[in-house]
Amino acid sequence: MDAKKVFVFDTTLRDGEQSPGAALNMDEKLQAARQLAALGVDVIEAGFPVSSPGDFEAVQRVAREVRGPQVCGLARAVKGDIDAAWNAVRPAKRPRIHTFIATSDLHIERKLKMTRPQVLARAVEAVRYAKKYTDNVEFSPEDAVRSDFGYLCSVVQAVIEAGATTVNIPDTVGYAIPAEFGELIRRLIQRVPNIHRAIVSVHCHNDLGLAVSNSLAAVKAGARQVECTINGIGERAGNASLEEVVMILKTRRDFFGLETGINAREIARTSRLVSKLTGIAVQPNKAVVGANAFSHSSGIHQDGVIKERTTYEIMDPAAVGIEESTLLLTARSGRNGVSNRFKHLGYRVTGPKLDDLMEKFKALADKKKYVFDDDLIALLEEDKSSRPEAFTLDYLNTSSGTGVVPTATVRLRKKDEVLQEAACGDGPVDAAYRAMDKIVGLRPKLLDYTLHAISSGKDAQGEVTVKVEKDGLVVSGKGTSTDIIEASAKAYLNALNKLSVPGRGKPSAKNIKVRL
């Protein structure tokens, strides 16, 4: 075994799925498991097979269909659970059974109504039973942190003797403090004579926000497997976040001197997928994968990042699969941030012209939360409002319904010219957008679409706002109508008109992105 490797045991599909409301169906589990394999986790804990027929089947499909990581099933220290776990994981190339029983007096007496010797015997029996199926058996003394240390050591020694190849020390209720947990692992490794026959793992919960810190303190003390979840989801306040553990080990390799097998470039993709599938949003300021993790708002920081990225970034966003850093143009942005964005949009603005624009920019930014590309261009071109729209909507007809392919016919006017196109789409709005793309000859990427009512009653006006991007240029468009399809078409056309302003330079190579 490579002493420098930390094994990553992902329990997103088991403990992560215990997050309220995060239940996944079979296809979703499979999709997530495939992405975890692409991420390069060493072990996927795919579920708790005895808990329901659906979970059993989901674990079985992951075991059958996902190649790369070991596939693990959880089981209480009960024969029926172990049978179910084995039957579910056995199709995997490298199956693992993970069995557990609580070892704290609180759990032993109040929950299990057992004694310490009975629990020890049950733990040993469970591991022996699981060993009949596979060599790859993990044992967890649940609530280890609140267990009597001497007793915990006896249980760990006994289960290794019985054949456990991984012993996992859980901080089930997130009670530990990093220095204390690190010390617990250090002392356990010193005290248990056969510990070298097993991998020491840790499994930390985040009740006090210390799951990642505790996991890493344990790694520093000799643990070589970390159990974690994508985005840190899990029971109550969640588990140690995989992306944080991995990126700390990678970024501070100088301190830990350890490696994981994770392909970090898949982190952002995995985070987004898990968030989408579970419906659990990632907080914007979440380390590594939050929307703001690589966004710079203050003028001083933007200036620093433009001059040298590492002034304010300790990780390269590309290293975790995020395209680029984001400089948010707000009232706090400075000259360098603004002129750099103009440069990106194809305009060279310097000297007194920039001074003048900065004044206008600050006035606008005080009124608006974010200043977008089209706002900047409007500042430059002064009279956005008096600029005539190149294309105007002359006619729109859409058809859609059950069993009908959504289609749209659009007629646009450009000075004296009348241009008409028809298109099919995923819905009437999409069809109308495709028809307009054909007429205008642009096919921008739709980044955002929002619809809200701006008056009340049955004849309420709907206001649609879109954000589109073409060749790095981000513009917004607005449209209002009592008909939401017409409002959508007007908003898109408004954005297309901004993109098709004649004489605008091509955006330069990308280096900053303005986030929506």
Q: Which residues bind Zn ion (CB under 5 A)?
A: 15
Interior angle at CA 41, CA 35 and CA 44, nearest 5: 80
Q: Does 48 bind ligand KIV (CB under 6 A)?
A: no
157 is an interface residue for ligand KIV by CB under 6 A: no
Residue type at 278 in one-letter notation? T
Q: Site residues for ligand KIV, window 122-151 (CB under 6 A)?
A: 140, 142
Q: Is 286 near ligand KIV (CB under 6 A)?
A: no
Both tokens of residue 171? 């901080």
Tokens 């599938």 belong to which residue?
277
Residues facing residue 167 across a β-bridge: 139, 200
CB of 174 to ligand KIV, least distance (A): 9
Name residue, tokens 């009348």. Answer: 418
Strand order in the sheet with 417-424: 392-401, 404-414, 417-424
Name the phi and psi angles at 78, rounded to 5.
-135, 135
Return the residues of window 78-117 that contact ligand KIV according to CB under 6 A.
100
76 near ligand KIV, judged by CB under 6 A: no
166 binds, among ligand KIV, Zn ion, none (CB under 5 to 8 A by kind): none
Continuous H helices in 192-334: 211-220, 242-251, 253-256, 267-278, 299-307
Contact indicator for 160, 192 with CB cutoff of 8 Å: yes
Interface with ligand KIV includes 238 (CB under 6 A)? Answer: no
Determine phi and psi for 361, rounding to 5 degrees: -60, -45
Please check whether residue 479 is in contact with residue 496, taking contact to mean a CB–CB distance below 8 angstroms. no
Told to check if 342 binds ligand KIV by CB under 6 A, we report no
Buried-exposed string 368-392: b where 16+ CB fall within 10 A, e elsewhere = eeebbbbbbbbbbeeeeeeeeebbe
Name the binder of 398 from ligand KIV, Zn ion, none, CB < 5-8 A by kind: none
Question: Residue 229 or residue 302: which is nearer to Zn ion going by CB?
Answer: 229
**Tokens linked to 53:** 């027929």
Report the Cα–Cα distance between both ends of the chain, in Å, rounded. Answer: 47
Q: Work out what residue 140 binds among Zn ion, ligand KIV, none; the CB cut-off runs from 5 to 8 Å by kind.
A: ligand KIV
Residue 142 interacts, among ligand KIV, Zn ion, none and using kind-specific CB cut-offs from 5 to 8 Å, with ligand KIV
Q: Does position 433 bind ligand KIV by CB under 6 A?
A: no
User: Do 463 and 454 touch, CB atoms closer than 8 A?
Assistant: yes
Q: Which does 100 bind (CB under 5 to 8 A by kind): Zn ion, ligand KIV, none?
A: ligand KIV
Residue 12 interacts with ligand KIV (CB under 6 A)? Answer: no
Ranges within 453-492 binding ligand KIV (CB under 6 A)? none
Residues 170-199 that bind ligand KIV (CB under 6 A): 170, 172
Tell the smallest beta-carbon distance from residue 111 to Zn ion (Å).
15
Options 83-91, 168-176, 214-222, 449-457: segment touching ligand KIV (CB under 6 A): 168-176
Q: Which stretch binds ligand KIV (CB under 6 A): 165-173, 327-335, 434-442, 462-470?
A: 165-173
Contact set with ligand KIV (CB under 6 A): 15, 100, 140, 142, 168, 170, 172, 203, 205
